Structure 1
Amino acid sequence: MIVLGCNGFTRGAEVFADEFGAVGTEKHYVLGHDSGAALLVDGELVAAVEEERLNRQKKTSDFPFQAVNWCLEQAGVKFSDVDLIAIPWNFTDEIFNVMMGELAGAPLKPAEKAERLSHLSALFDKVLGREAILADFAERTGFTPDPDRVVFVQHHLAHAMTGYYMAGKKDSAFLISDGRAELFSSVVGEIRDGRPRVFEESTISANDSIGNLYASVTRYLGFVPNNDEYKVMGLSGFAGAPSPNPFLEHIVQLHDDGRYTLCRPHDVENPRCFDDLFEQHFGPFQDTVEYKATVAAAAQDMVTAVTSHQLRALETRTDLKHLLFEGGLALNCVNNTHLLEGSGFEDMSVSFGASDTGVVIGAAVHAWANHPDTTRTPLAETVTPYLGPSFDDADIEAALRDFGDQVQWNKLAGDEVIERVTELLTEKVVIGWFQGRLEHGPRALGHRSILANPRFPDIKDVINMRVKHREPFRPFAPIVMEQDAPKIFEMGRKKRSPYMTFVFPVRSEYHDVIPGATHVDGTSRVQTLTDEDTPLLAKLLRRFTERTDVPCLINTSFNVAGEPIVNSPSDALNCFLGTEIDYLVLGDYLVTKTGQPA
């Protein structure tokens, strides 16, 4: 059975701009962002890629035309070969009626209700309704799908099935939390034998979303909501949470069964609906690191308190000891470690596709796992994130020739790549590292990465200012061999962190060894490596450690602020030439800028 997962809407950005006043890039960030496609063949995930990596528009919500075509070409199949098309949204007529009823009961003037009803109708008619989605697919691909072969999967269930599949299909409890889906922002439940069950008494309304509340904080602090939350997370390390915490005292109320509500509903048509409360409880806005860090630390503390409240209730309902945490809030890796350590679960998985990048995978898995013709087959313990395009020597050489006299290069043989890059990394240099298939998800996991030596305390400033062109407070993640991680980091119950989804304290004796990868609060967002998962990068790290006695390398995404992670050799060369990256490694090719010593 062949299942195609597909997320993205041709008219989504247009409708959010015209009907809801979303401006600039924000029009992509409400629903359908992180658009992409994935292909499942007889239960095996063979291809997945985000549309932004191909159309070069960060966080695009457009229909994933290029991603769909690439997945089919990668697998050598045609549209007519596809058995099911899975959509990670299920906006039914009943959901429209519920949303319309909520609007009718809102404390608004009749004229404003009528205007908002018009906006809601346009959204369903042009973007989210089933007929609109089917028409969009046909128009953009030229293939008209049989409606009976299109499976609309509730968004949070798609998230849950992403985590289930990535964790090796083991029975698990789950917590899903994000901005909003059809009617909810957070659900908990169980998956047993591939069948998810939601504990409905613990669901959280979209109006009470702490994901959207955190996005409001992001906007309030001067960043882009639904995109820059990690900046707020990074800032939180510069301050302690105030006590009592205004968020927990005045804005979020905790209730029985793991539920919670906000003191006022989130208003999609008033993106600054909480600003007055922030100023009331934190004082007038100040454009200083100190003020922003205090608000960020309070928001971070609130997230941990609320999600821990959800887990305490979940633990009373399930005897399963493995937890899946998925959804955009699961990318808050500072929270994840606290959440696991404070719970009764033995382990927690957060996948490389925890955000909406992964819902195309989860929707396809849900459609496959719940189809009557599905034959249960054992799967590998985990799934590789390296699911996107790859490029051979001919592709690399063609790209190098296209850049003419701007670059010079040498092709290295065998272990020359490892030895030469190791030698370079003993110095204070920044290296673009481009290998194999593109990784899926928001993190660069060693195939489209920027590498540096964490021994230099100011290497963070070098990368932030000269390469990434971003705020100086932003930290960088270390990569470490899985077996070495516990001696360098206080990992608690975690044995591995292959996707940079957990933060751990750096052991005191290593603070001076890896200062460039240690945040101001003494923690690091860790990626653990194995020889099986990333053989070339693991080999480089081993050789680097032998040479320097430094057991980690800095790994950050190969892009600059505002642009997607690079996909092709040409993307990598453009980024290399547009920044102060010192060296570029494209496969076996060591590339320098013309006039720079090779």
Structure 2
Amino acid sequence: MIVLAWNGFTRVSEFFAENFGAVGTEKHYLLGHDAGASLLVDGELVAAVEEERLNREKKTTDFPAGSVKWCLEHAGLEFSDVDLLAIPWNWSAEVQDQILSDIGSAPMPDAAKQGLAGGIGRLYTEVVSHEAILADFAARTGFTPDPDKVVFVPHHLAHAMTGYYMAGMKDSAFLVSDGRAERFSALMGEIRDGRIQVFDESTIGSEYSMGLLFAAITRYLGFVPNNDEYKVMGLAGYAGPPVPNPFLEHVVELHEEGRYSFRRPLETDNPRSLEPWFEELFGPRQDTLEYQARVAAAAQEMLNVVTNHQLRALEAKTDLDHLLFEGGVALNCLNNTPLFEASRFDDMDVSFGASDTGIVIGAAVHAWLNHPDNAGELGGPEKKPAPRITPYLGPEYDEATAEQALREFGDRVEWRRLDDDEVVDQVAKLLTEKVVIGYFEGRIEHGPRALGHRSILANPHFPDIKDIINTKVKHREPFRPFAPLVIESEAPKVFEMGRKTRSPYMTFVFPVRPEFHDVIPGATHVDGTSRVQTITDQDTPRLAALLRRFTALTDVPCLINTSFNVAGEPIVCTPADALNCFLGTEIDYLVLGNYLVTKTGSSGSSGSSA
């Protein structure tokens, strides 16, 4: 069975701009962001890519025409070969009626209710109804789907299925929390034998969305909502939360069954509505590190308390011992480690597709597992073998393509081709110095984190390497930390990992052991922690060999790994993208597959391109 899934809408950004004033930093705020596509063939995830990597518009909401085309071409398929189409949204007529009912009962003036209801009505008709979605697909692909072969998967169930698939399809309890889905912002439940049970009594409506509240705080601090929340996480390390915490004292109320509410419901059509309240709580807004860190630390503690409250309720409702945490809130890795450590669960997984980047995967899996052809005699899905899990699911480029790109930039770069062992040896030696290297190999990784195929690498032993990368390469705020990659078997020696044994997707933060603070200061945040990526010889053989060789030369067990891009741009995808980023920054060397590239006339020139 072949399942193609997609996320993204042709006119959604324009619609929110025209009807809700969502422009500029608000452009990709609510719906369709992280557009992309995936392809599942007989239960194997063979391809997935985010549209931003192809159209070069960060957080794009557009219909993923390039992603859909690439997935099919990669597998050598046509639209006529596809058995099911899946989309991770289900704005049915019933859901629309419920949303309008929610608006009608909301504590807001009648004129505001009418305006919001009218806007939501137009959104349904023009963008998100089943008919509008299928018309959009046909207009952008030239293929008219058979409605009977299209599966509309509720957004949060797609999130849950993403985690389930990435965890090897083992029976699991789950918590999903994000900005908003069709009506809700968080839900919890179980997945047993591929079937989802939602604990409805614990579901949180969008008016009390922790994801949207954190986005509002992100905006208040001067950053881009639904994109820069990791900056708030970074700032939180510079201060302890205020005592008492204004968010916990005046904003959030906890209730039974893991529920919570806000003393003032969110106005999802007015994202700045809470800012006067924030100023009441923290004093007039100031663009200072001290002020921003105090608000960020308070927000982080609030998030920890609320999700811990949800998890305590989930523990009481399930006898399963494995936990999935998915949705955009699950990318708050500062929260994930203490959340797991305080739980009774044996393990907790947060996938590389926890945000909306992954919902195309979950939608495809949900459609596949729930199709009648996959049902056993008792009505449940047949026992499927555990899938092979890899984040390296997007396009790759052969040597001919890389060399063609090099020749197009030939007056500005010089290069030499090396074999794999030479790449490992020479790059490891270069990294013993205070240099920054763009590293490009194989298929591009899926999700918001660079995981070693489109990465910037550096030596974390130099205390000022963070400042060098932030100012000369990434062009971003100086308070931002960098993540280390480490061989999985060595990680517990360097980091206090508690009950975790691995963190392959940078979704957990661990304290750096005291004896390593002076060994990897460039990868240690101000609070003594690191957002760790563990790697193995099986998953990233050449990168693992490179790290082992580097460690043998330096006794430093980690490398800095940050995404190969500059602020405001997507991670590089093609060789030309990599060369443009390399030449537009002060990156010292570029590893482009098996080519070692330098800038013409640089002191580290690697020789003639001819």
Q: Normalising TM by the smaller chain, what interval? A: over 0.9
Task: Give per-residue Cα distances to partners, 1:533-561, cap 9 Å, x unaligned.
Answer: 00000000000000000000000000000
Note the C-alpha offset of 1:378: 3.8
Contact 1:432/1:584, CA 8 A, preserved across alignment: yes
Note the C-alpha offset of 1:287: 1.1
Q: How does 1:406-421 map to 2 (within 5 A)?
A: 406-421=412-427
Match of 1:439 in 2: 445
How many correspondences in the alignment?
Answer: 598
Match of 2:277 in 1: 277
Q: Give the whole-Å Cα distance in 2 for the aligned partners of 1:242 and 1:364.
A: 44
Letter aligned with residue 543 of structure 2: L
Letter aligned with residue 332 of structure 1: N
Q: Give the whole-Å Cα distance in 2 for the aligned partners of 1:280 and 1:313.
A: 32
Match of 1:389 in 2: 395
The SS at the match of 1:39 is strand
Task: Give per-residue Cα distances to partners, 1:86-111, cap 9 Å, x unaligned.
Answer: 11001111121122122223344443
Letter aligned with residue 543 of structure 1: R
The SS at the match of 2:550 is helix
Contact 2:43/2:387, CA 8 A, preserved across alignment: no
Match of 1:587 in 2: 593
Note the C-alpha offset of 1:266: 1.1
Letter aligned with residue 449 of structure 1: S
The SS at the match of 1:373 is helix
Match of 1:399 in 2: 405
Note the C-alpha offset of 1:465: 0.3
The SS at the match of 2:598 is strand
The SS at the match of 1:303 is helix
Letter aligned with residue 185 of structure 1: S
Match of 1:194 in 2: 194
Contact 1:168/1:381, CA 8 A, preserved across alignment: yes
Q: Give the whole-Å Cα distance in 2 for the aligned partners of 1:381 and 1:400.
A: 37
Determine which of 419, 426, 435 is the counterpart of 1:429. 435
Match of 1:241 in 2: 241
Note the C-alpha offset of 1:377: 5.5
Match of 1:47 in 2: 47
Match of 1:535 in 2: 541
Task: Give per-residue Cα distances to partners, 1:142-195, cap 9 Å, x unaligned.
Answer: 000011110000100000000000000000000000000011100000000000
Match of 1:3 in 2: 3
Match of 2:378 in 1: none
Determine which of 498, 502, 521 is the counterpart of 2:504. 498
The SS at the match of 2:414 is strand
Q: Give the whole-Å Cα distance in 1 for the aligned partners of 2:116 and 2:29.
A: 20
2:526 is equivalent to residue 520 of structure 1: yes
2:77 is equivalent to residue 77 of structure 1: yes
Match of 2:176 in 1: 176
Letter aligned with residue 41 of structure 1: V
The SS at the match of 2:340 is helix
Q: Give the whole-Å Cα distance in 1 for the aligned partners of 2:410 and 2:431.
A: 27
Letter aligned with residue 467 of structure 1: V
Letter aligned with residue 3 of structure 1: V
Letter aligned with residue 339 of structure 1: L
Task: Give per-residue Cα distances to partners, 1:446-475, cap 9 Å, x unaligned.
Answer: 000000000000000000000000000000
Q: Give the whole-Å Cα distance in 1 for the aligned partners of 2:4 and 2:337.
A: 33
Q: How does 1:190-339 map to 2 (within 5 A)?
A: 190-339=190-339
Q: Which moved more, 1:483-492 or 1:274-283?
A: 274-283
Q: Give the whole-Å Cα distance in 1 for the aligned partners of 2:480 and 2:274.
A: 26
Task: Give per-residue Cα distances to partners, 1:83-140, cap 9 Å, x unaligned.
Answer: 1101100111112112212222334444333222221111111111111100000000
2:162 is equivalent to residue 162 of structure 1: yes
The SS at the match of 1:590 is strand
Match of 2:133 in 1: 133
Q: Give the whole-Å Cα distance in 2 for the aligned partners of 1:233 and 1:19.
A: 32
Q: Give the whole-Å Cα distance in 2 for the aligned partners of 1:485 and 1:459.
A: 21
Match of 1:462 in 2: 468
Note the C-alpha offset of 1:382: 5.0
Q: Give the whole-Å Cα distance in 2 for the aligned partners of 1:541 and 1:179.
A: 37
Contact 1:184/1:203, CA 8 A, preserved across alignment: yes
Note the C-alpha offset of 1:25: 4.5
Match of 2:68 in 1: 68
Contact 1:85/1:149, CA 8 A, preserved across alignment: yes
Identity %, equivalent residues: 71
Q: Give the whole-Å Cα distance in 2 for the aligned partners of 1:432 and 1:587.
A: 11
Task: Give per-residue Cα distances to partners, 1:49-98, cap 9 Å, x unaligned.
Answer: 00000000000000000000000001111101101101100111112112
Note the C-alpha offset of 1:27: 1.7
Q: How does 1:67-146 map to 2 (within 5 A)?
A: 67-146=67-146
Contact 2:173/2:322, CA 8 A, preserved across alignment: yes
The SS at the match of 2:233 is helix
Contact 1:29/1:59, CA 8 A, preserved across alignment: no
Q: Give the whole-Å Cα distance in 1 for the aligned partners of 2:156 and 2:546.
A: 39
Determine which of 474, 483, 494 is the counterpart of 1:477. 483
Which consecutive residues of structure 1, in runs of 5 or more, have no partner in the other structure?
none
Task: Give per-residue Cα distances to partners, 1:355-393, cap 9 Å, x unaligned.
Answer: 000000000000001111027354346510000000111
Q: Give the whole-Å Cα distance in 2 for the aligned partners of 1:253 and 1:435.
A: 48
Which consecutive residues of structure 2, in runs of 5 or more, have no partner in the other structure?
376-381
Note the C-alpha offset of 1:281: 1.3
Note the C-alpha offset of 1:413: 2.3
Q: Give the whole-Å Cα distance in 1 for the aligned partners of 2:563 and 2:386.
A: 27
Q: Give the whole-Å Cα distance in 1 for the aligned partners of 2:274 and 2:111.
A: 23
* Divergent runs of 4+, >4 A: none
Match of 2:513 in 1: 507
Q: Which moved more, 1:115-124 or 1:537-546?
A: 115-124
Q: Give the whole-Å Cα distance in 1 for the aligned partners of 2:401 and 2:532.
A: 32
Contact 2:397/2:575, CA 8 A, preserved across alignment: yes
Contact 1:453/1:554, CA 8 A, preserved across alignment: yes
2:374 is equivalent to residue 374 of structure 1: yes
Match of 1:448 in 2: 454
Contact 2:163/2:349, CA 8 A, preserved across alignment: yes
The SS at the match of 1:495 is coil
The SS at the match of 2:117 is helix
Q: Which moved more, 1:381-390 or 1:53-62?
A: 381-390
Q: Give the whole-Å Cα distance in 1 for the aligned partners of 2:420 and 2:156.
A: 46
Contact 2:484/2:531, CA 8 A, preserved across alignment: yes
Q: Give the whole-Å Cα distance in 1 for the aligned partners of 2:400 and 2:419.
A: 16
Q: Give the whole-Å Cα distance in 2 for the aligned partners of 1:108 and 1:302.
A: 26
Match of 1:571 in 2: 577
Task: Give per-residue Cα distances to partners, 1:504-552, cap 9 Å, x unaligned.
Answer: 0000000000000000000000000100000000000000000000000
The SS at the match of 1:485 is helix
Q: Give the whole-Å Cα distance in 2 for the aligned partners of 1:117 and 1:474.
A: 41
Letter aligned with residue 448 of structure 2: P
Letter aligned with residue 545 of structure 1: T
2:559 is equivalent to residue 553 of structure 1: yes
Q: Which moved more, 1:409-418 or 1:211-220?
A: 409-418
Q: Give the whole-Å Cα distance in 1 for the aligned partners of 2:128 and 2:336.
A: 32
The alignment yields a C-alpha RMSD, in angstroms, of: 1.0
The SS at the match of 1:398 is helix
The SS at the match of 1:225 is coil
Q: How does 1:29-44 map to 2 (within 5 A)?
A: 29-44=29-44
> CA distance change for structure 1 residues 466 and 258 in 2, over 3 Å: closer, same or farther?
same
The SS at the match of 1:244 is coil
Contact 1:29/1:61, CA 8 A, preserved across alignment: no
Task: Give per-residue Cα distances to partners, 1:477-497, cap 9 Å, x unaligned.
Answer: 000000000010000010000
The SS at the match of 1:47 is strand
Letter aligned with residue 420 of structure 1: Q
After TM superposition, the score normalised by the length of structure 1 is: 0.99
The SS at the match of 2:411 is helix
Q: Give the whole-Å Cα distance in 1 for the aligned partners of 2:264 and 2:25.
A: 26
